[in-house]
């Protein structure tokens, strides 16, 4: 295909990249790389999606995707017979039909490490917030309750807490490193035991919960991890146990978690992801022991710049017949 980085190319000469919905990094990506790629923005066209895809079926080889949708289903792949590569802005790939991609010979590039530091920071921030009641204390002061009601309720000490990390991948390891600095003991559950880490491994998620003061969810959403954190796990975590989720909402059985929180059967939660985003269960809003974040884990200016560089690098590699920079492990 050859390199096509000449800034003097007309839009029609640039490599075409189909974008069905704006990813979070879109503003940076478009402003920095529209001179290198012709982004076909579905939202700029009044046609229904099927008609729009049909109009580009014979020409589009590259598709830019993200975890916020739409899902890249077998039907979308069928309507794009010329598609050769999907570049996604997320680390997780639960929004892409990977078996159908393999069947069709469509390669997938993901962003597995760009977001690691920022998501780990937020996971620890949510944990600290829930344990030390930072947001709850902020509301207490701003609602002028300090003067009328007196001293605020006691928070929990961080040092010495046993933190079970579910998914000891890139993010999980960074969370562990940060929490060790606070004097926490780290335990973990992953698909396989990792012989190179010094933390106790629990193959059974209920046993991990039973031996932890808090669970921090860092794993990917798969068929195996869907609703992995169920009622049994939550009850094993116990009345004082905290749960933090920076993975995907559906890893937790959200209805069960909400019931356990409302009934006081678990101690609290810090949640950046939800099962039906952007819808959040109303029952969580009045709870002072719950801290909510709008799926904002990696969202920093530095992250968006690094992510756009990786996305553009993967697209440039594809159109130059070079190996992808960050091919998904499932390719």
**What integer pLDDT is reported at residue 13 of this predicted model?**
84
Structure tokens at 186: 């780290």
Mean pLDDT of the chain: 92
Task: Please state, in angstroms and rounded to a whole number, the distance separating the CA atoms of residues 66 and 95.
Answer: 8
Token pair of 271, please?
Answer: 């949640």
- In contact, 257 and 269? CB cutoff 8 Å: yes
CA distance 51 to 108: 24
- Give residue 58's pLDDT: 83
Rounded to 5 degrees, φ, ψ at 252 are -100, 140
Which segments within 154-293 are labelled E, that is strand?
A: 162-166, 185-189, 214-217, 242-245, 268-271, 290-292
* Residue 2 clears pLDDT 50, i.e. is over it: no
Cβ contact 288:139 at 8 Å: yes
Residue 12 per-residue DSSP state: G
For residue 12, what pLDDT is reported? 63
95 noted as active-site residue? no
Query: Which residue out of 115, 178, 260, 295 is catalytically annotated?
Result: 295
Give me the pLDDT at residue 269, please.
98
- DSSP codes joined into one string, 113-125: STTHHHHHHHHHH
User: What SS3 class is residue 245?
Assistant: strand
Catalytic residue among 180, 207, 277, 309: 277
CA distance 315 to 310: 9
Given pLDDT bands bounded at 50, 70 and 90, which one contains residue 10?
Answer: low
Tokens of 221: 């959403």
pLDDT at 11: 58
pLDDT tier for residue 329 given thresholds of 50, 70 and 90: low
What is the per-residue pLDDT for 30? Answer: 93
Residue 4 predicted with pLDDT over 50: no
The model's pLDDT over 38-86, given as tens digits with 9 standing for 90+, comes to 999 988 888 777 888 888 888 899 999 988 778 899 999 999 999 999 9
Among 176, 182, 133, smallest CA distance to 159 is for: 182
pLDDT at 31 over 60: yes
Count of C-beta atoms within a 10 Å radius of residue 269: 26
Q: Please report which residue ranges of the chain form alpha helices under DSSP H.
A: 26-33, 49-56, 74-79, 98-104, 116-132, 134-142, 145-149, 170-181, 205-210, 231-237, 254-262, 301-319
The pTM score is: 0.84
Q: How far apart are CA 293 and CA 278, in angstroms?
A: 11
State how far the Cα of 298 lies from the Cα of 218, in Å rounded to an integer.
13
Q: How many helices (H) and strands (E) does the chain have?
A: 12, 11
pLDDT single digits (tens) 109-129: 999 889 999 999 999 999 999
Which domains does the chain show, CATH number per domain?
Answer: 11-112+301-319 (3.40.50.720), 116-292 (3.40.50.720)
C-alpha of 275 from chain center: 12
First to last CA, the chain: 22
What CA–CA distance (Å, rounded) separates 130 from 113?
A: 26
Q: What is the rounded average pLDDT of the residues 170-198?
A: 96
DSSP code for 92: -
User: Is 115 a catalytic site residue?
Assistant: no
258 against 50, higher pLDDT: 258
Say which residue the tokens 């985003």 belong to. Answer: 277
Rounded distance, CA 5 to CA 153, Å? 60
Report the distance separating Cα 225 and Cα 223, nearest Å. Answer: 6
Tell me if residue 295 is catalytic: yes
Catalytic residue among 95, 115, 178, 248: 248
pLDDT tens digits, one per residue of 192-224: 999 999 999 999 999 999 999 999 999 999 999
């Amino acid at each position: 295909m050859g390199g096509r980085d000449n800034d003097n190319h007309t839009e029609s000469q640039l490599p075409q990249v189909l974008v069905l919905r704006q990813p979070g990094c879109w503003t940076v990506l478009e402003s920095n790389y529209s001179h290198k790629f012709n982004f076909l923005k579905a939202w700029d066209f009044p046609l229904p999606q099927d008609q729009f895809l049909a109009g580009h079926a014979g020409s589009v080889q590259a598709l830019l995707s993200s975890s916020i949708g739409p899902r890249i289903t077998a039907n979308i792949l069928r309507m794009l017979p010329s598609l050769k590569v999907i570049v996604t802005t997320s680390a997780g790939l639960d929004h892409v039909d990977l078996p159908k991609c393999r069947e069709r010979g469509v390669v997938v590039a993901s962003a597995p490490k760009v977001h690691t530091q920022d998501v780990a920071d937020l996971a620890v921030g949510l944990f600290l917030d829930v344990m030390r009641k930072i947001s709850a204390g902020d509301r207490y002061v701003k609602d002028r309750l300090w003067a009328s009601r007196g001293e605020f309720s006691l928070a929990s000490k961080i040092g010495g807490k046993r933190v079970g990390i579910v998914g000891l991948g890139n993010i999980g390891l960074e969370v562990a490193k940060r929490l060790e600095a606070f004097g926490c003991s780290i335990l973990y559950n992953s698909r396989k035991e990792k012989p190179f880490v010094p933390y106790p491994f629990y193959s059974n998620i209920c046993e991990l919960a039973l031996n932890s003061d808090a669970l921090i969810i860092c794993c990917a959403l798969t068929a195996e991890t869907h609703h992995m954190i169920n009622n049994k796990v939550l009850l094993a975590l116990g009345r004082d146990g905290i749960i933090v989720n920076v993975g995907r909402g559906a890893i937790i059985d959200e209805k069960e978690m909400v019931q356990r929180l409302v009934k006081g059967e678990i101690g609290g939660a810090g949640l950046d992801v939800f099962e039906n985003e952007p819808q959040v269960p109303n029952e969580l809003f009045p709870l002072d022991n719950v801290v909510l974040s709008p799926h904002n884990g990696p969202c920093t200016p530095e992250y968006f710049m690094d992510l756009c560089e990786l996305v553009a690098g993967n697209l440039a590699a594809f159109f130059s017949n070079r190996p992808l920079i960050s091919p998904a492990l499932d390719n």
